Amino acid sequence: MNDTFVNPYTFVPLPKAAPHSCEPHGHHGQGELLSGKLELTLHARTPLLIREMNEREKAEPDLPRRPDGTPIIPGSSLKGALRSLHETLTGSCLRVFDEEFVPGYRDPASTERSGKRHMAIVEQHHSEETPPVLRLCDKKSREARLRQEELARIHREEGPLTSGDRLEVDFDDESGRPVRARHHSKGKWVVLLSDASARKQHQPYYAHIRRFTGESPEQQLQQEVWDDFRSAVENADELRTAQQSKRDEQNPFTEVTFTHVPKGRKPEQGTRYELGRRHLVSKRLRPGQPVWVTTKSNGEIDSLRLGMLGRHAGKYTAGERVRPKPLLPCRYDDDLCPSCRLFGSADTAGKDSEEAQQRSYRGHVRVGDAVAINEVTPQSVTLPPMGIPRPGAGQFYLVNDAKVRGNAAVDPPLREWGSAADSGGQKRDLRGRKYYWHTPTEDGEKPSRAEARKHQLKSNMTSEAKLFPTGTSFEVTIAFTDIDEVQLGGLLACLSPSSVLGGELWQHVGGGRPLGLGSRTFELDENASEIRRSGARYGAAHEPVAPTPERFLEEFQNWMRRHAPAAHELWPKLGKALSPNTVNPNSVWYPPGAYWDQKGSENFDRGYEFWKRTSGTELKPNTDGPRTGYPLLALPDIDEQNQELPIIPNAQGSDEEKAEKLPNQAWPPSNQRSNARDNGNRKNKPKGKRR
């Protein structure tokens, strides 16, 4: 186990046929339909992370509670989780889905454009929607960088060093390199501090400095250039909702630290430098903030980036990678998939003419709050930094067939949306619906990955939280109105998936799923539940309906076999995703940067090398010599018995040396050549341009 891990999430594939769509029953009170309530007990199988709605306004986090102080799980959280499972069971539409999403990628250092970027200073910026006014640094001045030791000295001895500060700089007469710098309000040099988290630890940190006299004319950025910048930073970590909520608008900076580990030394032998402060990623730039731009021959700015390397967009939207197309969100209230007919459908189409059309449909299910049965003692936890989902990591999020896996391409890497792996008129599909593995612990305590490690405690991406302990039980009522036997069977299947999929199965609710939190099960109280014909509400004579689930579950299963066989065929895979026994809980972690005997160390939690060295990048063209590169390593399919992946440790040395040290699992068979590269990405690609 020491050299392998299991990724925290997997994917249940999308069905190969469109969902069964038709007109819903409506809300007209058809007498033969069913109405009633289900009384359930919810059991926490692992600690549950349920955030308060107004958590930011409180000094300390707490469990969500009713006015009388009783802890609860809001019904909206439960309903969302039930609907998500129902969509997978029935092969329904992707209700919460951004069809226009396209990931962005960092430009490699070798790109022609990155070498032509100039530093510019923000003069003024009024809003996110309008372009800023910039002024170029002196384009003919030398390109210089300050080394980490001098940056740390300024920050330590002269007060906070902030990206954009003005400096006076002394240069060595022989080498021409900067050797000494100091703060000066009218200094002729500007320093730019950038994020150090992805830098190679064996190479020293340098900060760019450029001469700035303020003599260049002001430039109002063109709107299309500003729109391009906003698109490029759209998926940045620091713009995600969880981090935005922590921001202090009066302090738009974050600390820059870097641990330098010279070649031949162990990670614990490195030197940590506190270098200063940089601007947080934002669509609102600050006066005095340094940025990177490229210009046309006439000096007009034609691109803007926060980093010298910049970013570029992938190709083909998420909506273009979904087949069949009817899996996209339902748009018409008279033609709905099974989940939209039961839980409701929102009008996402907007206006298609000058007159708005109402296409929403009210659901038939109401989920009440889950109320804690006994007194609850919350568990306090400091959560580790959690990044946003990375759909741009095509080795995990896209379907990669045998001819793509294990191969490398020159430009761009095969992991990227729009690379050679998408050539030949065949775009790779999205992998499916995302599910996190259940990872119970023997003692019922929270998994170790749910607690911030010592080296993470200074990060502004950690957060304090309160958890419902394992074993907490809740009472919850689910009411339904005017549904048929099949729909009731589908609802019961969501509450107890074991009844149709077999085995012991759990579900998730709330946050912290990547950390092993949020597993729960339902238990139905048949005696307290009520099912009646809807017509009985108005005095019509109807036989009472026994609240036993078996007949409704059987109706649902028979309906699925007849009307949604493509989704029904995926049930064994869904069962595997919901089982707490599929994977070894102790093996589950996001890609580590070291072997398990270093668990808890900073190096173990730095998984950058894994993503880099499984990306499908070739470092050396396929000549007569040995081929070096980072072959594409795909996430195992959910039906594969072995879900393990090789740990790729953070190694010292050049990229070519690292490639030679890759674990055997990451390399293709000797007779497997770079098929993806031969599928048109060289013959049809214009020279000197990115695809």
Share of the chain above pLDDT 90, in %: 59
Kindly state whether residues 640 and 603 are assigned to the same domain: yes
The predicted pLDDT at position 540 comes to 60
First to last CA, the chain: 40
Among the residue ranges 142-151, 307-316, 480-489, the one predicted with the least confidence is 307-316
> pLDDT: is 620 or 161 the higher one?
161
The predicted pLDDT at position 677 comes to 38
Kindly state whether residues 168 and 35 are assigned to the same domain: no
pLDDT at 674 over 50: no
Q: Is residue 173 part of a domain?
A: yes
pLDDT at 16 over 70: yes
Each residue's pLDDT tens digit, 338-377:
999 999 998 765 544 444 466 889 999 999 999 999 999 9
Each residue's pLDDT tens digit, 581-601:
999 999 999 999 999 999 999
Query: Which is it for strands 104-106 and 118-124: parallel, antiparallel or unpaired?
Result: unpaired
pLDDT at 137 over 70: yes
pLDDT at 687 over 50: no
Among the residue ranges 141-145, 401-405, 443-447, 678-682, the one predicted with the least confidence is 678-682
| DSSP SS3 for 191 | strand
Domain containing 631: what range? Answer: 1-10+386-436+583-691
Looking at the structure of the chain, the number of domains it has is 3
| DSSP SS3 for 222 | coil
Q: Is residue 446 part of a domain?
A: no
Residue at which a domain ends, from 263, 282, 313: 313
Residue found by looking up tokens 């955030």 in the block: 51
What letter does residue 308 receive in the DSSP assignment? Answer: S
pLDDT at 684 over 60: no
The predicted pLDDT at position 685 comes to 35
Kindly state whether residues 337 and 482 are assigned to the same domain: yes
Kindly state whether residues 458 and 427 are assigned to the same domain: no
Each residue's pLDDT tens digit, 261-305:
998 888 888 999 999 999 998 889 999 999 999 999 898 999 999
> pLDDT: is 199 or 39 the higher one?
39
Each residue's pLDDT tens digit, 535-557:
776 656 567 788 789 999 999 99
Q: Is residue 445 part of a domain?
A: no
Q: Is residue 444 part of a domain?
A: no
Each residue's pLDDT tens digit, 517-528:
999 999 999 999
Among the residue ranges 86-90, 119-123, 137-141, 492-496, the one predicted with the least confidence is 137-141
What is the rounded average pLDDT of the residues 144-155?
A: 95
The pTM is what?
0.79
Kindly state whether residues 268 and 391 are assigned to the same domain: no
Distance CA 488, CA 532 (A): 12
Query: Which is it for strands 34-44 and 519-533: parallel, antiparallel or unpaired?
Result: antiparallel
The predicted pLDDT at position 680 comes to 34
Helix (H) or strand (E) holding 551: helix 550-563
The predicted pLDDT at position 355 comes to 45
CA dihedral 524, 530, 532, 537 (to 10 degrees): -140
* Residues contacting 458, CB < 8 A, separation 6+: none
Residue at which a domain ends, from 277, 292, 313: 313
Among the residue ranges 221-225, 277-281, 681-685, the one predicted with the least confidence is 681-685
Kindly state whether residues 249 and 138 are assigned to the same domain: yes
Q: Is residue 168 part of a domain?
A: yes
Confidence of residue 446 (pLDDT cuts 50, 70, 90): confident
| DSSP SS3 for 367 | strand
pLDDT at 670 over 50: no
Other beta carbons less than 10 A from residue 254's beta carbon: 19
What is the rounded average pLDDT of the residues 498-502?
A: 96
Strand partners, 22: 336
Distance CA 147, CA 181 (A): 11
Q: Is residue 570 part of a domain?
A: no
Q: Which backbone phi and psi does 677 adopt, to 5 degrees?
A: -70, -30
Distance CA 284, CA 416 (A): 28
Kindly state whether residues 594 and 475 are assigned to the same domain: no
Average pLDDT, the chain: 86
Burial (CB count within 10 angstroms: exposed 0-12, middle 13-18, buried 19+), residue 368: middle
Q: Which backbone phi and psi does 487 adopt, to 5 degrees?
A: -65, -40
The CATH number of whichever domain residue 458 belongs to comes to: 3.30.70
Q: Quick check: 614 and 648 in contact, CB under 8 A? A: yes
The predicted pLDDT at position 393 comes to 92
Residue at which a domain ends, from 288, 313, 338: 313
pLDDT at 476 over 90: yes
For CA atoms 105, 106, 109, 114, give the dihedral sign. positive
Q: What is the CA radius of gyration of the chain?
A: 28
Confidence of residue 59 (pLDDT cuts 50, 70, 90): low
Kindly state whether residues 641 and 657 are assigned to the same domain: yes
Kindly state whether residues 188 and 258 are assigned to the same domain: yes
* Tokens representing residue 205 in the block: 């940190």
Distance CA 155, CA 157 (A): 6
Amino acid in position 362: R
Query: Which is it for strands 4-6 and 644-646: parallel, antiparallel or unpaired?
Result: antiparallel
Confidence of residue 691 (pLDDT cuts 50, 70, 90): very low
Q: Quick check: 154 and 184 in contact, CB under 8 A? A: no
Confidence of residue 682 (pLDDT cuts 50, 70, 90): very low
The predicted pLDDT at position 84 comes to 96
The predicted pLDDT at position 349 comes to 58
Q: Is residue 239 part of a domain?
A: yes
Helix axes 571-578, 75-90, angle to 10 degrees: 140
Helix axes 485-495, 550-563, angle to 10 degrees: 100
Distance CA 286, CA 253 (A): 11
Kindly state whether residues 503 and 462 are assigned to the same domain: yes
Query: Which is it for strands 311-313 and 253-260: parallel, antiparallel or unpaired?
Result: unpaired
Kindly state whether residues 169 and 45 are assigned to the same domain: no
Q: Is residue 128 part of a domain?
A: yes
Kindly state whether residues 153 and 269 are assigned to the same domain: yes
